[in-house]
Amino acid sequence: MEKIILSPKAETKKKPKVIVIPKFNVVLLNDEEHTYDYVVEMLCKIFNHSLETAFQMAVEVDTMKRVVVYTTYKEKAEVKRDQIRSFGADWRLPNSRGSMNAVIEAVN
């Protein structure tokens, strides 16, 4: 039988500390000042969602009045929320006065 001798360093190694970074949802809120085309275009540009995914989200925000469009860490969620809020008015509708609104919410 072979004897294995551990070096002092190997014996004193501690388990790596696991840091859990809280996640946040970016939630798009519905309004009546933007078309489906606007929502799809915005989601594709900001989040790089596919046309199919973006359309499904547009339907959900229209019917449920809100939809989670992205989940990430807090700082990036804030940036994505701000990109939605600054995307601009929907040129297709004369009554569109600005961007859509979004909020971030902690994931439980």
The 23-29 sheet, strands edge to edge: 66-73, 23-29, 101-106
Instruction: State the distance between the two ends of the chain, measured CA to CA, in whole angstroms.
Output: 52
64-85 average pLDDT score: 98
Q: Which domains does the chain have, with CATH numbers?
A: 22-106 (3.30.1390.10)
Q: Above 70 in pLDDT, residue 107?
A: yes
Q: What percent of the chain has pLDDT over 70?
A: 88
5-30 average pLDDT score: 80
Hey, is 23 helix, strand or coil? strand
Please give the model's pTM, rounded to 2 decimal places. 0.83
pLDDT band per the 50, 70, 90 thresholds, residue 19: confident
Please report which residue ranges of 1-108 form alpha helices under DSSP H: 8-12, 36-47, 51-64, 74-85
